[in-house]
Structure 1
Amino acid sequence: MATELDVRVTARFLAAGAVGTDLPPTGKLEIAFAGRSNVGKSSLLNSLMQRRGLVRTSKTPGATRTVNLFEAVLLSGPSFVFADLPGYGFADRSKTERASWGKMLETYFKTRAELAGLVLLIDVRRGLEPDDQALIDFAASLDRPLASIVCATKLDKVPLSKRKPLMLALRRKLNRPVIGYSAINHEGREALWRELIAIANARASGAGAVVG
């Protein structure tokens, strides 16, 4: 049985901007958080970093339009930079704007030197959607080591009797582990931190990509 992990963390906002000259280098291990608009990304990040309100939440899908960087330092472990990426799949944006966002994210994944991992967030109620699969396939095609973790968000929105079947279906569809997460009661927080620490340890040892 795994010992309890000390997940106490200090966190702060670093910067926001578009990919390129607007997004400063940090020289630290960077983990990107991505998912469909309204997947609960901001709430999960606030839960993970234990700073309510650090990442702005909005009831309006697609509110995040830049890459927002946050520093998170575990008191008993490594430090990270979390990159909050704009959500995808929001139909009310124009075709031109969606294409521009897609190009920005493609450039980020291909050129961001600090990037070591991706946390893909999927609403447990919606399951895997084409945009999610497209991002998984794109990340796998990159000519660079990139660790990946999949989290199913909004567990608290699902009755207990339905959680296990939904999680099992998602794991089978992806053929990989999936962490269930609730930003309300923080279920899954320790499990996610363990995977993030594994990425940091693998990078420190030169092992390259780790798939959670």
Structure 2
Amino acid sequence: MSSFLLHQARFFTTVNHLRDLPPTPQPEIAFAGRSNAGKSTAINLLCNQKRLAFASKTPGRTQHINYFAIGPADQPKAHVVDLPGYGYAEVSGNAKLHWQQLLSTYLQSRAQLVGMILMMDSRRPLTELDKIMLDWFAPTGKPIHALLTKCDKLTRQESTNTLRATKKAFDEYTAAGYRGELTLQLFSALKRVGLDEAHEKIESWLIPKATEETAPEDEAQ
């Protein structure tokens, strides 16, 4: 098995308020997605761990941001940021407002954030809440890579159609002025479809940053 930077992930901290965001300088990649889109399963698979991220027994109840440090314990190279799942009607109005403020402000103002992985169930991509996430992130000009999860539940033709339709929708966002790169792929944690492609995309966002930080040290040796 190839060795990926993400395989060095470990729990770092949990944040429930913007004031508690860690003052860490390392680059961050946010993972966002509708509740039940398979976000926790995907994070665990990408990080080659079984219970690094875990879903609440009551979907939509958890309103925290979970940080996972990537790289050596004494000098992390990056952070994976697991955002609260969204889309459950059972969540109270106050919780929804808290979620909206926490996520929108984090996505729009966090300087360390280099990109977002957007999880969407391949059987129903680009729900209204997914579009809200795109709208919140649009002003940053940072890239979004969408994982169309659970593609093992689609036929080959359905997968092709879903990929084509979602790409067309992304192209329309770009034509309308979205400044960041919008890319997408099919993904199945169960069948391990798209795993290498997802790793390559995520690490292409992180490794240049990590290389820049360590370059002076390397030159000195």
TM-score bracket, normalised by the shorter chain, equals: 0.7 to 0.9
Aligned amino acid, residue 128 of structure 1? L
- For residues 144-172 of structure 1, what are the alpha-carbon distances to aligned partners after superposition, in whole Å with 9 as ceiling and x for unaligned? x5222111111122234422222222112
**Which whole-Å CA distance do the structure 2 matches of 1:24 and 1:204 have between them?**
18
1:37 to 31, 35, 38: 35
Aligned to 1:184: 190
* C-alpha contact 2:108 2:137 (8 A) present in aligned 1: no
> What is the TM-score when the length of structure 1 is the normalising length?
0.82
Paired residue secondary structure (1:21): helix
CA 181–148 in structure 1, closer or farther in 2 if over 3 Å, else same: same
The structure where helix makes up a greater share of residues is 2
Answer whether contact 1:11 1:70 (CA < 8 A) is retained: yes
Whether 1:148 and 2:117 are equivalent positions in the alignment is: no
Query: Which residue pairs with 2:100 in the alignment?
Result: 102
Question: TM-score with structure 2 length normalisation?
Answer: 0.79
Q: How does 1:12-27 map to 2 (within 5 A)?
A: 12-27=10-25
Unmatched segments (≥5 aa) in structure 1: 207-212
User: Secondary structure in 2 aligned to 1:55?
Assistant: coil
Please give the alpha-carbon distance, in whole angstroms, between the structure 1 residues aligned to 2:198 and 2:206: 13
| Distance in 2 separating the partners of 1:193 and 1:109 | 22
Give how far 1:65 is off.
1.5
1:55 and 2:53 aligned: yes
Mapping 1:158-197, distance limit 5 Å: 158-175=154-171, 176-197=182-203
Structure 2 partner of 1:210: none
The residue aligned with 1:119 is 117
Gaps of 5+ in 2: 172-181, 213-221
> Does the residue aligned with 1:174 lie in a helix, a strand or coil?
helix
Q: Report the Cα offset of residue 61 of structure 1.
A: 2.0
Give how far 1:118 is off.
0.9
1:84 maps to 82
Three-state SS of the structure 1 residue aligned to 2:20 is: coil
- Is residue 2:153 matched to residue 1:157? yes
Read off the aligned partner of 1:102 and give its amino acid letter.
Q
CA separation of 1:18 and 1:163: change in aligned 2, threshold 3 A: same
Contact 1:19 1:107 in 2 (8 A): no
Cα separation, 2, equivalents of 1:58 and 1:106: 21
The answer to whether the Cα contact below 8 Å between 1:35 and 1:121 also exists between their aligned partners in 2 is yes
CA distance in 2, matches of 1:54, 1:201: 21
